[in-house]
């Protein structure tokens, strides 16, 4: 566990009662969102450990019938995406739109529970064998309506928060107001897009050589991530200096790449076409650009280690992701454990460290919950080792698909190492969750102090 810095509670207790809630409230809402996110991470990691056991010893599926590997897999990946990876962004939006401030803050808590309830119902639905089979768009039956409704509930809260905070000093600039209104318009579309895209009859463009995504669609989805990377600092902090080429240059390159992406179209196309892999290679520009950009903003010192971590993962993800797409390499790796390694590098390595960095910045002094040295290293080293193990397994599996299906010494050793690393990841996440629970209790005690009476 990380040790909490000397508590601010005493200071709050010294303050007049009217001052207490307003001092503590903004991060209380953020701490709640962080808690929900971590609760789902711990759950999804426990499921990850279970499916790692089932892959190592497939006979154990017989004991679990009907809740076998195929039922748990959608729970694992959807909860990682819509729970662990999405709720920190919800926290970010609550902060940006001022939904962490009174009186609207009181509504943030039920909205977070609506989100979590939709995920819980979704999990039960997947476990009872209902799945569209579409990775990350597994919403079928009534969860296909309930989850978009949860998103709309959040949207309604953000709209009410913007209305409440419209005259506030933070919204004084017309560009800020316009940005937030445009943001709300875009957020409104997402629930409907999820509903429509979850239809198994709708297919994205396909690479005819591999059955996987095309270079153009890879570039498109990475540009969405880059757009998020570029926007995040504006909602989190201030620039070091008002105008800097370190900020304008990346935006300019982003615009140029978006035009390139539009020019590539959305047709089914092979990764052997040079236009596909060369245009995807344009993402390598972001290796120097992203640290440069983030360096132009002022960050809370608590964020340092996770900022370095997410930038380091990014600088591994972009070149390895591009290399995996190259002709010859993709043909060997596609749909093998190598791609499982790449997914973990992208999500448990890059995305998770980026999100923890965002949460630490949002929590400010309370960000200590993520800063224990041992959990930081256990998480990052385990993810790296996991990725290497899966790359090795994928390299063998490419020319010999039976490699990971038939138990053998090499395969079992790799899968056993994966299991041990998974247990370590689970322990690190459980530690963050316990610290977040402790923090939330402290916030609650500060907001609603019971006996003894505060010092006057
Ligand atoms: C306790 C830690 C974890 C364990 C033990 C674990 C285990 C697994 C296993 C066994 C699979 C199935 C691989 C296969 O079908 O061959 C898998 C897939 C996956 N996991 Fe995890 N996982 C863990 C943490 C995470 C985290 C933290 C994330 C994301 C933030 C994540 C994202 C994914 C994704 C996206 C896939 C699908 C990979 C693909 O099919 O390309 N996992 N995981």
- Looking at residue 408, its pLDDT comes to 92
In order of 295, 298, 358, 370, the CA distances from 237 in angstroms are: 12, 6, 10, 19
Q: What is the CA radius of gyration of the chain?
A: 23
In this predicted model, what pLDDT tens digit does every residue of 332-363 receive, in sequence order? 888 899 999 999 999 999 999 999 999 999 99
For ligand 1, the distance from its centroid to the CA atom of residue 45, given in whole angstroms, is 8
- Looking at residue 450, its pLDDT comes to 59
- Looking at residue 447, its pLDDT comes to 66
The domain of 289 spans 213-328
**Which residue's CA lies nearest to atom 2 of ligand 1?**
422
DSSP H helical ranges for 237-284? 245-264, 274-281
184 and 50 in a common domain:
yes
Q: Identify whether 379 is part of a domain.
A: no
Which residues make beta-bridge pairs with 247?
Answer: none
290, 311 in Cβ contact below 8 A? yes
Q: Identify whether 174 is part of a domain.
A: yes
pTM (2 decimals)?
0.92
Kindly tell me the number of DSSP H helices and DSSP E strands found in the chain.
Answer: 18, 0
- Looking at residue 25, its pLDDT comes to 56
Q: Which of 328, 344, 360 is the last residue of a domain?
A: 328
Q: Identify whether 269 is part of a domain.
A: yes
Gap between the Cα atoms of 269 and 218, Å rounded: 12
Q: Identify whether 4 is part of a domain.
A: no
103 and 41 in a common domain:
yes
DSSP H helical ranges for 17-58? 19-56
Gap between the Cα atoms of 207 and 201, Å rounded: 18
284 and 180 in a common domain:
no
- Looking at residue 20, its pLDDT comes to 38
- Looking at residue 26, its pLDDT comes to 61
In this predicted model, what pLDDT tens digit does every residue of 273-282 receive, in sequence order? 888 888 888 9
Q: Of ligand 1's atoms, which has the minimum distance to the CA of residue 339?
A: 41
**Which residue's CA lies nearest to atom 20 of ligand 1?**
77
Q: Which of 328, 346, 364 is the last residue of a domain?
A: 328
297 and 193 in a common domain:
no
Displacement of CA 297 from its chain's centroid (Å): 22
For ligand 1, the distance from its centroid to the CA atom of residue 136, given in whole angstroms, is 13
Q: Identify whether 85 is part of a domain.
A: yes
Gap between the Cα atoms of 372 and 93, Å rounded: 26
Displacement of CA 412 from its chain's centroid (Å): 30
**Which residue's CA lies nearest to atom 37 of ligand 1?**
340
Gap between the Cα atoms of 295 and 299, Å rounded: 9
Domain count, the chain: 2
295 and 436 in a common domain:
no
129, 71 in Cβ contact below 8 A? yes
447 and 308 in a common domain:
no
173 and 26 in a common domain:
yes
Gap between the Cα atoms of 165 and 77, Å rounded: 36
Q: Which of 169, 268, 252 is nearest to 211 (CA)?
A: 268
Q: Identify whether 3 is part of a domain.
A: no
325, 277 in Cβ contact below 8 A? yes
328 DSSP assignment: T
241 and 187 in a common domain:
no
- Looking at residue 185, its pLDDT comes to 98
Q: Of ligand 1's atoms, which has the minimum distance to the CA of residue 54?
A: 10
Q: Which residues of the chain have pLDDT under 70?
A: 2-26, 447-456
Residue whose token pair is 């035009």 = 259
Q: Identify whether 398 is part of a domain.
A: no
Does 348 contact ligand 1 (Cβ within 6 A)? yes
**Which residue's CA lies nearest to atom 22 of ligand 1?**
48
For ligand 1, the distance from its centroid to the CA atom of residue 374, given in whole angstroms, is 22
In this predicted model, what pLDDT tens digit does every residue of 299-321 receive, in sequence order? 999 999 999 999 999 999 999 99
Average pLDDT, the chain: 91
Gap between the Cα atoms of 164 and 162, Å rounded: 5
192 and 51 in a common domain:
yes
Does 344 contact ligand 1 (Cβ within 6 A)? yes
- Looking at residue 266, its pLDDT comes to 75
4 DSSP assignment: P
380, 353 in Cβ contact below 8 A? yes
In order of 94, 316, 402, the CA distances from 306 in angstroms are: 22, 15, 39
To the nearest 10 degrees (0 to 180), the angle between helices 174-197 and 87-96 is 150
221 and 177 in a common domain:
no
Q: Which of 296, 328, 360 is the last residue of a domain?
A: 328
Q: Identify whether 64 is part of a domain.
A: yes
142 and 257 in a common domain:
no
- Looking at residue 82, its pLDDT comes to 98
Close Cβ partners of 23 (under 8 Å, ≥ 6 residues apart): 12, 15
220 and 194 in a common domain:
no
2, 372 in Cβ contact below 8 A? yes
For ligand 1, the distance from its centroid to the CA atom of residue 11, given in whole angstroms, is 43
Please give the structure tokens belonging to residue 43. 């759950």
For ligand 1, the distance from its centroid to the CA atom of residue 77, given in whole angstroms, is 7
Does 28 contact ligand 1 (Cβ within 6 A)? no
């Amino acid at each position: 566990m990380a040790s909490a810095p000397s508590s601010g509670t005493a200071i709050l207790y010294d303050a007049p009662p009217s001052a207490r809630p307003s001092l503590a409230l903004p991060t209380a809402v953020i701490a709640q969102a962080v808690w929900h996110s971590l609760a789902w991470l711990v759950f999804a990691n426990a499921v990850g450990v279970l499916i790692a056991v089932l892959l190592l010893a497939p006979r154990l599926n017989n004991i679990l019938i009907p809740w076998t590997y195929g039922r748990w897999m959608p729970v694992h990946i959807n909860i990682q995406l819509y729970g662990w990876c999405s709720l920190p962004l919800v926290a970010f939006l609550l902060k940006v739109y001022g939904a962490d401030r009174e009186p609207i803050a009181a509504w943030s808590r039920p909205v977070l529970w609506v989100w979590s309830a939709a995920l819980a119902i979704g999990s039960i639905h997947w476990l009872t064998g209902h799945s569209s089979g579409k990775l990350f768009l597994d919403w079928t039956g009534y969860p296909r309506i309930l989850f978009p409704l949860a998103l709309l509930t959040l949207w309604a809260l953000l709209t009410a928060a913007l209305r409440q905070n419209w005259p506030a000093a933070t919204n004084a600039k017309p560009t800020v107001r316009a940005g937030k209104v445009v943001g709300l318009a875009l957020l409104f579309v997402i629930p409907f897009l999820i509903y429509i895209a979850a239809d198994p009859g709708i297919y994205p463009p396909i690479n005819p050589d591999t059955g996987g995504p095309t270079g153009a669609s890879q570039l498109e989805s990475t540009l969405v991530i880059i757009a998020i990377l570029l926007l995040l600092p504006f909602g989190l902090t201030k620039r070091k200096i008002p105008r800097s080429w370190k900020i304008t240059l990346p935006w300019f390159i982003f615009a140029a790449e978006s035009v390139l992406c539009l020019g590539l179209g959305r047709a089914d196309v092979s990764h052997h076409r040079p236009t596909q892999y060369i245009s995807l290679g344009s993402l390598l520009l972001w290796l120097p650009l992203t640290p440069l950009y983030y360096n132009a903003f002022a960050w809370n010192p608590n964020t340092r280690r996770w900022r370095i971590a997410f930038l380091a993962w990014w600088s591994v993800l972009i070149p390895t992701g591009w290399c995996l797409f190259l002709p010859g390499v993709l043909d060997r790796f596609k749909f093998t454990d190598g791609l499982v390694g790449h997914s973990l590098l992208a999500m448990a390595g890059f995305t998770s460290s980026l999100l923890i960095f965002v949460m630490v910045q949002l929590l400010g002094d309370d960000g200590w919950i993520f800063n224990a040295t041992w959990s930081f290293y256990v998480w990052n080293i385990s993810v790296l080792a996991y990725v290497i193990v899966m790359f090795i397994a994928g390299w063998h599996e490419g020319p010999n698909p039976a490699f990971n299906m038939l138990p053998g010494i090499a395969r079992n050793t790799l899968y056993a190492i994966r299991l041990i690393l998974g247990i370590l990841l689970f322990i690190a996440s459980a530690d963050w969750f316990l610290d977040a629970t402790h923090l939330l209790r402290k916030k609650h005690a500060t907001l609603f102090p019971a006996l003894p009476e505060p010092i006057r």
